[in-house]
Structure 1
Amino acid sequence: MNKILLLLTGGAIGTIARYGLSGLTHRCFKGTYPLGTLVVNLFGSLVIGLLWGIWENGYIHTNLRTFIFIGLLGGFTTFSTYMLESLNLFRDGETKMALINIFAHNILGLSFVFIGFIMAKELLNFIRS
């Protein structure tokens, strides 16, 4: 039951944070490209990579990892929205924009996880020295 509460709480916080950051991005950068979803997913990728790098060394308790990785970041990032926005761009004849969206989420997302992981390793090395 404890894990369920961690997931519910983390998911709720992540969902509200996604709504806020995505909305802010859309208000600041108008246009047809769904930049808000990309910003949310890249930021979430960076954070999960950073925390993964720290957790790999045992610095994050299992319950905290469940709360953040599955709950908070699961509610924050959004694969289904990204897919729907890509499909809508194709439907609307924005093929180039749709392909950019797919490339950006996949290649940049993977890159941001890796960058976050490297940042964690460097941070831990700095703290230890």
Structure 2
Amino acid sequence: MGELLLVCMCGGLGAVARFVLNTSIQRWWNRVFPLSTFVINITAAFFAGIAAAAYYYQTVGYFTYLLFVAGFLGGFSTFSTAINEMVSLAKGKRILMASGYFAVTVIIPFLMVVLGWWVGAMGH
């Protein structure tokens, strides 16, 4: 039960971090492209890659990995918001932007996880 509560607390911290970053970016970004969600998700992907490498190379234990990835990054990242933004762009007749956003939302986070693994595996 304690593990569950700690994951929930870390998820809450991740959600607060997402809110702060989202609000900060939206204050100065007033274009159609949903930059804040994109930045949040690529940041989460990068740190997930680092965490995965750290766990793989036994730099951190499973519990730490669980708290960070399932908890904090689970609350921080927001794939469902990205999908909703894609649908909104498409409904607003911005098909090209919706398609481009779809592509970068899948490709860039994948590359960020790879980069995170690379950074996390340095020295191993």
Equivalent residues in 2 for 1:90-105 (5 A)?
A: 90-105=90-105
Root-mean-square deviation over aligned CA pairs:
1.0
Residue aligning to 1:74: 74
* CA distance in 2 between partners of 1:74 and 1:49 (Å): 13
Aligned pairs for 1:1-129 (under 5 A) are: 1-122=1-122, 124-125=123-124
Structure 1 stretches (4+) deviating beyond 6 angstroms?
none
Further displaced range: 22-31 or 94-103: 22-31
Which ranges in structure 2 are unaligned for 5 or more consecutive residues? none
| One-letter code aligned to 1:105 | T
| Secondary structure of 2:96's aligned partner | helix
Shift of 1:28: 2.3
TM, length-normalised to structure 1: 0.92
Matched residues, number: 124
TM-score, length-scaled by structure 2: 0.95
- SS of residue paired to 2:31: coil
CA distance in 2, matches of 1:77, 1:10: 13
Name which of structure 1's ranges 104-113 and 20-29 shifts more when overlaid on structure 2.
20-29
Distance between the aligned counterparts of 2:114 and 2:77, measured in 1? 17
Task: Note the residue ranges of structure 1 that are not aligned, 5 or more in a row.
Answer: none
Partner Cα separation in structure 1 for residue 93 and residue 57 of structure 2? 47
